[in-house]
Protein backbone atom coordinates (compact mmCIF):
# COMPACT_ATOMS: atom_id res chain seq x y z
CA UNK A 1 0.00 0.00 0.00
CA UNK A 2 1.03 3.58 -0.50
CA UNK A 3 0.24 6.54 1.67
CA UNK A 4 -1.68 9.51 0.38
CA UNK A 5 1.43 11.69 0.44
CA UNK A 6 3.61 9.03 -1.12
CA UNK A 7 6.13 9.17 1.71
CA UNK A 8 5.67 5.58 2.80
CA UNK A 9 4.42 2.32 1.39
CA UNK A 10 3.33 -0.97 2.85
CA UNK A 11 5.48 -3.75 1.43
CA UNK A 12 4.07 -6.63 3.40
CA UNK A 13 2.65 -7.63 6.76
CA UNK A 14 4.31 -5.59 9.49
CA UNK A 15 6.71 -3.83 7.11
CA UNK A 16 6.75 -0.16 6.25
CA UNK A 17 9.21 1.40 3.85
CA UNK A 18 9.90 5.13 4.27
CA UNK A 19 12.51 7.06 2.29
CA UNK A 20 15.36 8.56 4.29
CA UNK A 21 16.75 11.93 3.28
CA UNK A 22 20.51 11.63 2.57
CA UNK A 23 22.50 13.99 4.74
CA UNK A 24 23.98 15.76 1.73
CA UNK A 25 20.43 16.78 0.76
CA UNK A 26 19.64 18.15 4.21
CA UNK A 27 20.50 21.71 3.24
CA UNK A 28 19.75 23.22 6.65
CA UNK A 29 22.16 20.87 8.41
CA UNK A 30 24.81 21.29 5.72
CA UNK A 31 24.53 25.08 5.77
CA UNK A 32 24.88 25.12 9.55
CA UNK A 33 27.95 22.88 9.42
CA UNK A 34 29.52 25.04 6.69
CA UNK A 35 28.76 28.22 8.66
CA UNK A 36 30.41 26.81 11.80
CA UNK A 37 33.41 25.65 9.75
CA UNK A 38 33.99 29.06 8.14
CA UNK A 39 33.44 31.01 11.36
CA UNK A 40 35.98 28.79 13.07
CA UNK A 41 38.55 29.02 10.30
CA UNK A 42 38.12 32.77 9.78
CA UNK A 43 38.46 33.54 13.48
CA UNK A 44 41.62 31.42 13.67
CA UNK A 45 43.04 33.17 10.62
CA UNK A 46 42.52 36.59 12.19
CA UNK A 47 44.17 35.49 15.42
CA UNK A 48 47.20 34.08 13.61
CA UNK A 49 47.50 37.22 11.48
CA UNK A 50 47.19 39.89 14.15
CA UNK A 51 48.48 38.31 17.36
CA UNK A 52 51.85 36.80 18.10
CA UNK A 53 51.92 33.33 19.58
CA UNK A 54 50.94 33.49 23.28
CA UNK A 55 50.03 37.18 22.96
CA UNK A 56 46.75 38.28 24.57
CA UNK A 57 44.37 41.13 23.85
CA UNK A 58 43.69 42.80 26.17
CA UNK A 59 46.73 41.93 28.25
CA UNK A 60 44.60 41.37 31.36
CA UNK A 61 40.97 40.67 32.08
CA UNK A 62 38.42 37.90 32.53
CA UNK A 63 37.66 37.62 28.79
CA UNK A 64 40.61 37.85 26.42
CA UNK A 65 41.78 36.80 22.98
CA UNK A 66 44.91 34.72 23.45
CA UNK A 67 46.80 33.20 20.53
CA UNK A 68 47.84 29.70 21.50
CA UNK A 69 47.65 26.17 20.15
CA UNK A 70 47.33 22.57 21.27
CA UNK A 71 48.15 19.16 19.86
CA UNK A 72 45.61 17.40 22.05
CA UNK A 73 41.86 17.33 22.40
CA UNK A 74 39.21 19.91 23.25
CA UNK A 75 40.33 22.51 25.80
CA UNK A 76 43.95 21.36 25.52
CA UNK A 77 43.72 17.95 27.18
CA UNK A 78 45.80 14.93 26.03
CA UNK A 79 48.60 17.01 24.54
CA UNK A 80 50.95 15.54 21.93
CA UNK A 81 48.39 13.20 20.37
CA UNK A 82 47.68 15.08 17.13
CA UNK A 83 47.93 12.05 14.83
CA UNK A 84 45.71 9.97 17.08
CA UNK A 85 43.10 12.71 17.19
CA UNK A 86 43.06 12.96 13.39
CA UNK A 87 41.94 9.33 13.37
CA UNK A 88 39.49 9.97 16.22
CA UNK A 89 38.02 12.90 14.26
CA UNK A 90 37.31 10.72 11.23
CA UNK A 91 35.71 8.09 13.45
CA UNK A 92 33.61 10.73 15.18
CA UNK A 93 32.37 12.12 11.86
CA UNK A 94 31.46 8.60 10.72
CA UNK A 95 29.48 8.00 13.93
CA UNK A 96 27.56 11.26 13.45
CA UNK A 97 26.71 10.33 9.86
CA UNK A 98 25.49 6.90 10.97
CA UNK A 99 23.40 8.50 13.71
CA UNK A 100 21.73 10.77 11.18
CA UNK A 101 21.10 7.89 8.78
CA UNK A 102 19.56 5.79 11.55
CA UNK A 103 16.74 8.31 12.00
CA UNK A 104 13.70 7.98 9.77
CA UNK A 105 12.74 11.61 10.40
CA UNK A 106 15.62 13.49 12.11
CA UNK A 107 14.25 16.15 14.43
CA UNK A 108 15.23 19.79 14.15
CA UNK A 109 17.13 19.58 17.43
CA UNK A 110 19.09 16.55 16.25
CA UNK A 111 19.98 18.30 13.02
CA UNK A 112 21.14 21.33 15.01
CA UNK A 113 23.29 19.11 17.22
CA UNK A 114 24.86 17.26 14.29
CA UNK A 115 25.42 20.44 12.29
CA UNK A 116 27.32 22.04 15.16
CA UNK A 117 29.41 18.94 15.76
CA UNK A 118 30.22 18.28 12.11
CA UNK A 119 31.22 21.89 11.45
CA UNK A 120 33.40 21.95 14.55
CA UNK A 121 34.96 18.57 13.81
CA UNK A 122 35.97 19.56 10.29
CA UNK A 123 37.28 22.92 11.53
CA UNK A 124 39.67 21.33 14.01
CA UNK A 125 40.48 18.47 11.63
CA UNK A 126 41.69 20.90 8.96
CA UNK A 127 43.99 22.53 11.52
CA UNK A 128 45.44 19.19 12.56
CA UNK A 129 46.12 18.07 9.00
CA UNK A 130 47.39 21.43 7.71
CA UNK A 131 49.25 22.82 10.75
CA UNK A 132 49.89 19.81 12.95
CA UNK A 133 48.00 21.46 15.80
CA UNK A 134 44.77 23.32 16.58
CA UNK A 135 44.71 27.09 17.01
CA UNK A 136 42.94 28.24 20.18
CA UNK A 137 42.08 31.80 21.11
CA UNK A 138 39.02 32.18 23.37
CA UNK A 139 40.43 32.85 26.85
CA UNK A 140 37.77 32.99 29.58
CA UNK A 141 38.96 33.30 33.18
CA UNK A 142 40.57 30.12 34.51
CA UNK A 143 39.01 27.99 31.76
CA UNK A 144 41.43 26.40 29.24
CA UNK A 145 41.74 28.39 26.01
CA UNK A 146 39.45 27.07 23.28
CA UNK A 147 38.05 28.02 19.87
CA UNK A 148 34.75 28.24 17.98
CA UNK A 149 34.95 24.60 16.88
CA UNK A 150 35.44 23.40 20.46
CA UNK A 151 32.45 25.42 21.66
CA UNK A 152 30.21 24.08 18.88
CA UNK A 153 31.25 20.47 19.44
CA UNK A 154 30.54 20.68 23.17
CA UNK A 155 27.22 22.45 22.57
CA UNK A 156 26.21 19.77 20.07
CA UNK A 157 27.14 16.98 22.48
CA UNK A 158 25.15 18.62 25.29
CA UNK A 159 22.12 18.90 23.01
CA UNK A 160 22.49 15.26 21.99
CA UNK A 161 22.71 14.12 25.61
CA UNK A 162 19.72 16.27 26.56
CA UNK A 163 17.62 14.80 23.73
CA UNK A 164 18.51 11.28 24.82
CA UNK A 165 17.64 11.95 28.46
CA UNK A 166 14.37 13.69 27.62
CA UNK A 167 13.31 10.98 25.17
CA UNK A 168 13.85 8.33 27.83
CA UNK A 169 11.87 10.29 30.42
CA UNK A 170 9.03 11.05 28.02
CA UNK A 171 8.73 7.52 26.69
CA UNK A 172 5.09 6.53 27.29
CA UNK A 173 3.78 3.16 28.33
CA UNK A 174 3.08 1.93 24.84
CA UNK A 175 0.39 -0.52 23.87
CA UNK A 176 0.95 -3.49 21.63
CA UNK A 177 -0.47 -1.45 18.77
CA UNK A 178 1.92 1.46 19.26
CA UNK A 179 4.84 -0.95 19.31
CA UNK A 180 3.94 -2.11 15.82
CA UNK A 181 6.69 -1.83 13.24
CA UNK A 182 4.21 0.14 11.15
CA UNK A 183 4.35 3.17 13.46
CA UNK A 184 5.90 6.46 12.51
CA UNK A 185 8.35 7.94 14.99
CA UNK A 186 8.09 11.63 14.08
CA UNK A 187 5.83 13.84 12.01
CA UNK A 188 7.52 14.70 8.67
CA UNK A 189 6.09 18.23 8.93
CA UNK A 190 6.83 19.37 12.48
CA UNK A 191 8.80 16.50 14.09
CA UNK A 192 5.95 15.91 16.53
CA UNK A 193 5.00 12.52 17.95
CA UNK A 194 2.99 10.40 15.50
CA UNK A 195 0.31 8.32 17.19
CA UNK A 196 -1.39 5.35 15.51
CA UNK A 197 -5.03 5.49 14.45
CA UNK A 198 -6.66 2.11 15.14
CA UNK A 199 -9.21 0.72 12.72
CA UNK A 200 -12.19 -1.46 13.53
CA UNK A 201 -10.08 -4.56 13.05
CA UNK A 202 -7.60 -3.31 15.65
CA UNK A 203 -4.86 -2.75 13.10
CA UNK A 204 -3.05 0.46 12.29
CA UNK A 205 -4.98 2.46 9.69
CA UNK A 206 -2.71 5.48 9.81
CA UNK A 207 -1.09 8.01 12.12
CA UNK A 208 -1.92 11.41 13.56
CA UNK A 209 0.59 13.99 14.78
CA UNK A 210 -0.02 14.95 18.41
CA UNK A 211 1.49 18.40 17.75
CA UNK A 212 0.17 19.73 14.44
CA UNK A 213 -2.65 17.24 13.83
CA UNK A 214 -1.38 16.12 10.42
CA UNK A 215 -2.66 12.69 9.43
CA UNK A 216 -1.05 9.95 7.40
CA UNK A 217 -3.35 7.14 6.33
CA UNK A 218 -2.76 3.91 4.51
CA UNK A 219 -4.87 3.73 1.39
CA UNK A 220 -6.66 0.46 0.68
CA UNK A 221 -5.10 -1.72 -2.03
Mean pLDDT estimate for the chain: 80
Residues 150, 130 share a domain: yes
Q: How confident is the model at residue 214 (pLDDT cuts 50, 70, 90)?
A: low
Q: How confident is the model at residue 220 (pLDDT cuts 50, 70, 90)?
A: low
- Comparing 181 with 184, the larger pLDDT belongs to 184
- 176-194 mean pLDDT: 55
Q: From residue 123, how far is each of 53, 90, 100, 144, 178 by CA, in Å?
A: 20, 12, 20, 19, 42
Q: Does any domain span residue 196?
A: yes
Residues 85, 30 share a domain: yes
Element (H, E) at 117: helix 108-131
Supply the residues annotated as catalytic. 136, 150
- What is 53-100 written as a DSSP string? TT-EESSSSSEEEEEEEESSSGGG-STT-HHHHHHHHHHHHHHHHHHH
Residues 116, 181 share a domain: no
Whether 211 shows a pLDDT value over 50: the answer reads yes
Residues 205, 114 share a domain: no
Contacts 24+ apart (CB under 8 A), 42-46: 43/137, 43/147, 43/148, 44/123, 44/127, 44/135, 44/137, 44/147, 44/148
Q: Does any domain span residue 62?
A: yes
Q: Does any domain span residue 5?
A: no
Residues 190, 157 share a domain: no
Q: How many domains does the chain have?
A: 2
Q: Does any domain span residue 14?
A: no
pLDDT digits (tens, 9 = 90+) for 110-164: 999 999 999 999 999 999 999 999 999 999 999 999 999 999 999 999 999 998 8
State the residue range of the domain holding 197. 176-217
Residues 195, 125 share a domain: no
State the pTM of this model.
0.69
Amino acid sequence: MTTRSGTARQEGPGKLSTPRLPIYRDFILIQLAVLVFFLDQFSKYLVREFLLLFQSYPAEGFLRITHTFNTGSIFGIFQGQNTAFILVSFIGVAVLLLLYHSQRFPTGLLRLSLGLQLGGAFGNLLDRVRLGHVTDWVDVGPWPVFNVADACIVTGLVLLAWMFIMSERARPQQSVLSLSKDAYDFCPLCDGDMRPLPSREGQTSGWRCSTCGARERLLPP
